Structure 1
């Protein structure tokens, strides 16, 4: 055995980790602070919209303003998360620095006037944009740029949801179906952990969700200490969660393609989207499906928080949030998809729990993470998110729901730039390294 060889190997490992720790520290502090400002601003504009419901009627005008911002100030930024994923796979022009102020302002405008969108996309895009600018400042080598962009994703995601371990795994898992790149494991973890700590240090608090259900460890068979009927219900729910993720991805992409094909004036696309949202809100006579949907001061409204309680959602709440969000994002407004996916999943889980007699809070929690898993093809990250948000008591059900949803969402997803690392089923022949958009 060559002892010198192993000594050198450990030295190189140590120097590699030290190098990336020093590189990532200032980046994570910056991203954590920017995300904290974004979350604070988002809370302010959301409250302002709730206090002034008439702002919804200006949503078409807001859409035109967003279109003009991106057209004249940063057209390359329009691709959002997909641009960052593409740059990680094949670094080219880089992620423009202007993406950060554009997506920040665009998302705040969307929420101020009632668009149904999330916040993850904004945090990830800001993280990637800041990471790319930082790479230029420190003159980082081209081969290291991919790792730094991944740390930007991890920092943005970990800070915006308060889930640093999930952010770490998400940044590596989201790049390609069936493949995880471990090269950036420690840099991503450091970035996500420190960015989350920085965001918290600024006084930002994340919504707490509670699943009161605890498995009583039923022993239906001597070797199977689990509630078998509940496990079967969780598998069934996972199938529906995966199909919901698939439906959302297909509908949002379909709306975008149809609008670009049939509406000749591109500035008119978000204006039409705003009018549709106003019309849907008028028909349903509720503001439940506007904005983030995390909570709502009106006790009669549906929100993510209410979905964890019996009677907290109608049978079709999940569909309406899905439609509102697909229209909002498909027709040119800005923001993320993930928080609306949480809403869709929690509401669908509430319905499944009510119909099947399963614990409503557990099913809402499973839907919360599993629809996200199906729509983003990140089942491991979403299982870990369940632990970080809800505790580890029901980890088996988290995994069952997320893994099942992953398969049943098919080879589709909200991020068209994702590559095929490995087909979900070997019988389904898919071209390796092909983008989802190109399938």
Structure 2
């Protein structure tokens, strides 16, 4: 009996130790990412509109990095860091390894994308850095293969929790991101520790302040309001599917057209973004778009802002630039909600918040994490509505998503004729056949 408790506390202490190390390193690295992104986006690019014309050349630099330094052979398997979050997910499933160089490469690529006006977010870089740090910790301490998967998940948690100031969400996101229909609760302790430590290192130790989105008014609970929320959640889920399909379609087309030459893909993608920017006559849809995202909670934004951001981001990331996709989905959902609030007779800030969460949920396929994000981001307001919105968005988005490597342990519903243990990528290929 004593031996059993001794083993229990030994393993518990081990998970806390590893989670803390990963949280400290990833929290500090994420703070660096956030601060540099803010500086490049707000203090340099916003004041120098001409930098957008250098985006195609920035694409050449990013492509060169990934083509010459992003591919690593480990355990007789090619691990291409250009696969981004998909490589991290594959490492959780034990198919591939996350090279230690992945974090620095994606950071540098994200900085170039933000500086020259590509439409992107930040959590992708934080998650990949988290996976990179977790892989380095696993190798240094010679962790076994099974525990290594759990540490990769805790790296994901640390990156997400630190990037958005949402430690509870981060803990669950690390367990939920890799697969649909399954949560690996064995990873709860290291994911929870890594996420909370990463968050407090970023905010308390380094003093970073995250953006705040405030719901001014939540409608009273009624059947009519719930029906409106369900209808809007279906719309938000479909817009997330449209983004995912367009983004992956552009990626597949550009890879085929340029024979997977990352430099050529990104160069021509950069030219398209420059042309789109000139057509729109504004740089509101370049970079992260945080200013208009915050505006969508307070006042009306251009009615087709959500569509412009969708196209800008799909072209940017689909052609080979790097960064996160959560903030662009936040933008798309929030601005669409802002546009439709008068038609639905719902408060502007409430519908913007609902769109932000539901669009992210539909794209990421993480309903529990999305609901927790709503609770942390909006101080628990509208709990019932957000819970329903996440479930509806998750169901109606079908088996599509931001990351083709996500494994479907169980279909979302019996309405979908999907085999178990398939990946989203394989499901898409079978549909085309």
Fold equivalence (TM over 0.5): yes
The offset of 1:429, in angstroms, is: 2.2
1:50 aligns with 2:39: no
Distance (whole Å) between structure 2 residues aligned to residue 355 and residue 435 of structure 1 = 38
Distance (whole Å) between structure 1 residues aligned to residue 99 and residue 247 of structure 2 = 25
Query: Which of 143, 149, 153 is matched with 1:150 structurally?
Result: 153
Number of the residue aligned with 2:35: 40
1:351 aligns with 2:339: yes
The offset of 1:375, in angstroms, is: 0.3
Trace 1:235-250 onto structure 2 (pairs within 5 A): 235-250=230-245
Q: Which moved more, 1:173-182 or 1:99-108?
A: 173-182
The offset of 1:51, in angstroms, is: 1.1
Number of the residue aligned with 1:258: 253
Distance (whole Å) between structure 2 residues aligned to residue 10 and residue 230 of structure 1 = 51
Trace 1:368-387 onto structure 2 (pairs within 5 A): 368-387=356-375
Number of the residue aligned with 2:271: 275
The offset of 1:354, in angstroms, is: 2.3
Distance (whole Å) between structure 2 residues aligned to residue 52 and residue 420 of structure 1 = 45
Distance (whole Å) between structure 1 residues aligned to residue 352 and residue 171 of structure 2 = 24
Number of the residue aligned with 2:431: none
Number of the residue aligned with 1:220: none
Distance (whole Å) between structure 1 residues aligned to residue 201 and residue 125 of structure 2 = 18
Query: Which of 179, 182, 192 is matched with 2:182 structurally?
Result: 179
Number of the residue aligned with 1:298: none
The offset of 1:34, in angstroms, is: 0.6
Q: What 5-or-longer segments of structure 1 have no aligned partner? A: 217-225, 296-302
Query: Which of 199, 212, 227 is matched with 2:216 structurally?
Result: 212
1:80 aligns with 2:69: no
Q: Alpha carbon RMSD of aligned pairs, Å? A: 1.3
Contact 2:265 2:320 in 1 (8 A): yes
Contact 2:64 2:262 in 1 (8 A): no
Contact 2:34 2:163 in 1 (8 A): yes
Sort the Cα spacing of 1:40 and 1:266 in 2 relative to 1 into closer, same or farther, 3 A.
closer
Number of the residue aligned with 2:386: 398
Contact 2:238 2:397 in 1 (8 A): yes
The offset of 1:14, in angstroms, is: 3.0
Query: Which of 50, 57, 60 is matched with 2:56 structurally?
Result: 60
The one-character-per-residue Cα deviations of 1:256-300 (angstroms, maximum 9, x if unpaired) are: 1111222355422111111111111111111110001111xxxxx
Sort the Cα spacing of 1:335 and 1:112 in 2 relative to 1 into closer, same or farther, 3 A.
same
Number of the residue aligned with 1:198: 201
The offset of 1:15, in angstroms, is: 2.9
Number of the residue aligned with 2:299: 310
The offset of 1:421, in angstroms, is: 1.2
The offset of 1:255, in angstroms, is: 0.5
Contact 2:131 2:155 in 1 (8 A): yes
Contact 2:219 2:346 in 1 (8 A): no
> Helix, strand or coil: the match of 1:393?
coil
The offset of 1:91, in angstroms, is: 4.8
Q: What 5-or-longer segments of structure 2 have no aligned partner? A: 72-79, 428-433
1:361 aligns with 2:381: no
Distance (whole Å) between structure 2 residues aligned to residue 152 and residue 205 of structure 1 = 21
The offset of 1:11, in angstroms, is: 4.9
Distance (whole Å) between structure 1 residues aligned to residue 95 and residue 318 of structure 2 = 27
> Helix, strand or coil: the match of 2:358?
helix
Contact 1:209 1:389 in 2 (8 A): yes
Distance (whole Å) between structure 2 residues aligned to residue 31 and residue 72 of structure 1 = 25
Distance (whole Å) between structure 1 residues aligned to residue 313 and residue 135 of structure 2 = 29
For these two proteins, the number of residue pairs brought into alignment is 416
Number of the residue aligned with 1:416: 404
The one-character-per-residue Cα deviations of 1:338-395 (angstroms, maximum 9, x if unpaired) are: 1100000101111121221111100000111110100010011001100101011201
Distance (whole Å) between structure 1 residues aligned to residue 18 and residue 271 of structure 2 = 46
Distance (whole Å) between structure 1 residues aligned to residue 267 and residue 17 of structure 2 = 46
> Helix, strand or coil: the match of 2:117?
coil
Give the TM-score of the pair, scaled to structure 2.
Answer: 0.94
